[in-house]
């Protein structure tokens, strides 16, 4: 195997692996020869020099090798001795672009009235006769209060005997459901299987929510399935929300969408009634970068779609514990996302908003809808549980 590397660079045997040096020197033939016979651990190991083979290929600007490693499911979130991911070591746009996710709908909503429900912040039912379009209530006509949001936040904020009782009862069940979901959506022939397998093991054995969030960002069917089957994922995050408090987001974030005229009419209805709030009903990905969200609603992406293009602007004037920043925040809080270029913030179900503003661009017809975060009222979980039963 040593004869494969034909480079002038001298190095000490044992200082770094042959694979690392092949990636560092740009020897694509050697990398192709070795890669099929290597384990996931060998490919992604932190070498004695303090970085992985992917870090080396990125730093020394070898795009063909970077592409090959990424196509083979190489870990994107491993940190080098300086606390940086391989993406953060890139010095050219060509290299950074290799880390981009293939075209997807991650930052765009296709069914806007299904990702939110309308509730009263005081917990009162909303009168369906007030003129709101019927499809706003489709699929959730009995969930017209904010009790679910209050309950999930109360559980997350609780401590002592109550939290232990709830956690012991619910966490094991949620982990079992999550395991079934992961097994069904990330099969052993998937490019990201080895990555997901190790991340899921940390979730299963250590309740490591950082690993769960990273697994969510992998390009697999898992994150798409969560749009309809988010219960186990969201429950685990809520149970450990206190551990993620340093990632709670404050600021602005963006998400693209497509709406019919009836959809927009529903938002106008809510705009005229500030006492009503919207409650998120599923997992949603937002971006700190408006251009990222906009790229998913460009005309070429909807050639046969006559719906209106919409930019949702989420305004968090207060720190929101259920808007989780997946970006690098500090040396102690590295990026959790496998796709750092997306600048993602994850929004959990049961987060409350009010509609603050609706504008339309007269030049391109794009709607801009601003939603303002509404903190969930703090109520004792036992009280809310009683209300939920009624």
- pLDDT by residue (tens digit) across 9-50? 444 445 889 999 999 999 999 999 999 999 999 999 999 989
Domain identity same for 180 and 44:
no
Domain identity same for 232 and 379:
yes
Domain identity same for 264 and 377:
yes
Domain identity same for 157 and 266:
yes
The DSSP output letter for 182 is H
Q: Where are the alpha helices (DSSP H) in the chain?
A: 18-25, 28-34, 40-44, 53-59, 63-71, 86-89, 93-98, 112-115, 147-157, 160-185, 193-206, 209-217, 221-225, 231-239, 261-271, 290-295, 381-389
Domain identity same for 116 and 95:
no
3 in a domain, yes or no?
no
pLDDT value of position 77: 96
Tens of pLDDT along 316-361? 999 999 999 999 999 999 999 999 999 999 999 888 888 999 999 8
Q: What mean pLDDT do residues 106-112 have? A: 57
Asked which of 70, 99, 128 is the last residue of a domain, the reply is 99
Please report, in angstroms and rounded to a whole number, the separation of the first and last CA atoms in the chain: 71
Domain identity same for 45 and 131:
no
289: Cα within 13 Å, side-chain hemisphere: 10
Token representation of residue 99: 């880390």
226 in a domain, yes or no?
yes
Domain identity same for 84 and 120:
no
Most confident option among 196-210, 350-364, 368-382 = 196-210
107 in a domain, yes or no?
no
Strands 108-109 and 248-259: parallel
DSSP 3-state assignment of 80? coil
24 in a domain, yes or no?
yes
Asked which of 99, 121, 141 is the last residue of a domain, the reply is 99
Domain identity same for 186 and 43:
no
pLDDT over 70 at 304, yes or no = no
46 in a domain, yes or no?
yes
246 in a domain, yes or no?
yes
Strands 352-360 and 277-280: antiparallel
- Give how many domains the chain has, as a whole number: 2
CATH assignment of the domain containing 72: 1.25.40.20
Domain identity same for 120 and 54:
no
Cβ burial of 39 (10 Å; 0-12, 13-18, 19+) is exposed
Asked which of 99, 128, 157 is the last residue of a domain, the reply is 99
* CA dist., res. 101 & res. 98, Å (int): 8
| Among the listed residues 252, 258, 217, the one whose alpha carbon sits nearest the alpha carbon of residue 353 | 252
- What is the domain range of residue 167? 112-387
359 in a domain, yes or no?
yes
Tell the residue number behind the tokens 């509404």, with chain if given. Answer: 374
Domain identity same for 240 and 335:
yes
Domain identity same for 42 and 128:
no
Domain identity same for 287 and 366:
yes
105 in a domain, yes or no?
no
Among positive and negative, which fits the CA dihedral 6, 10, 13, 18?
Answer: negative
Asked if residue 255 lies in contact with residue 287, where contact means CB atoms within 8 angstroms, the answer is yes
Tens of pLDDT along 252-288? 999 988 888 888 888 888 888 877 788 888 889 999 9
CATH assignment of the domain containing 309: 3.90.176
306: Cα within 13 Å, side-chain hemisphere: 1
Kindly report the number of other CB atoms within 10 A of residue 274's CB atom: 12
pLDDT value of position 107: 55
The radius of gyration computed from the CA coordinates of the chain, to the nearest angstrom, equals: 23
Q: What's the residue count for the chain?
A: 390
Max CA separation in the chain (angstroms):
79
């Amino acid at each position: 195997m040593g004869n494969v590397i034909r480079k002038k660079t001298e190095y000490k045997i044992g200082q770094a692996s042959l694979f690392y040096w092949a990636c560092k020197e740009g020897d694509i033939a050697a990398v192709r020869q070795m890669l099929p016979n290597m384990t996931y651990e060998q490919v992604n190991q932190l070498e004695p020099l303090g970085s992985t083979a992917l870090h080396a290929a990125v730093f020394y600007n070898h795009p063909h090798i970077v592409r090959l490693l990424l196509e083979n499911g190489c870990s994107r979130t491993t940190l080098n001795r300086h606390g940086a991911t391989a993406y953060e070591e890139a010095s050219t746009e060509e290299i950074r672009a290799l880390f981009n996710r293939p075209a997807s709908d991650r930052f765009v909503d296709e069914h806007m009235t299904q990702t939110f429900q309308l509730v009263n912040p005081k917990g009162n039912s909303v009168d369906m006769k007030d003129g709101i379009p019927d499809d706003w209530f489709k699929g959730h006509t009995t969930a017209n209060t904010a009790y679910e949001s209050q309950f999930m936040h109360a559980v997350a904020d609780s401590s002592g005997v109550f939290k232990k009782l709830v956690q012991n009862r619910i966490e094991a069940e949620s982990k079992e459901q999550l395991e079934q979901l992961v097994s069904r959506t990330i099969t052993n022939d998937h490019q990201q299987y080895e990555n997901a397998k190790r991340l899921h093991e940390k979730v299963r054995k250590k309740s490591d929510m950082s690993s769960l969030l990273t697994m969510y960002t992998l390009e697999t069917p898992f994150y798409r399935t969560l749009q309809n089957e988010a219960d186990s994922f969201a429950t685990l995050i809520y149970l450990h929300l206190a551990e993620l408090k340093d990632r709670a987001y404050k600021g602005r974030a963006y998400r693209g969408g497509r709406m019919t005229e009836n959809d927009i009419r529903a938002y106008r209805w809510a705009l005229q009634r500030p006492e009503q709030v919207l409650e998120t009903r599923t997992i949603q990905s937002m971006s700190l970068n408006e251009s990222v969200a906009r790229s998913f609603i460009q005309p070429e992406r909807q050639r046969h779609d006559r719906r209106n293009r919409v930019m949702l602007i989420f305004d968090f004037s207060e720190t929101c514990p259920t808007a989780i920043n997946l970006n690098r925040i500090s040396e102690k809080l590295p990026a959790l996302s496998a796709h750092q270029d997306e600048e993602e913030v994850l929004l959990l179900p049961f987060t409350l908003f009010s509609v603050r503003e609706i504008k339309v661009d007269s030049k391109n017809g794009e709607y801009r809808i601003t939603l303002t975060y509404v903190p969930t009222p703090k109520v004792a979980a036992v009280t809310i549980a009683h209300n939920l039963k009624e």
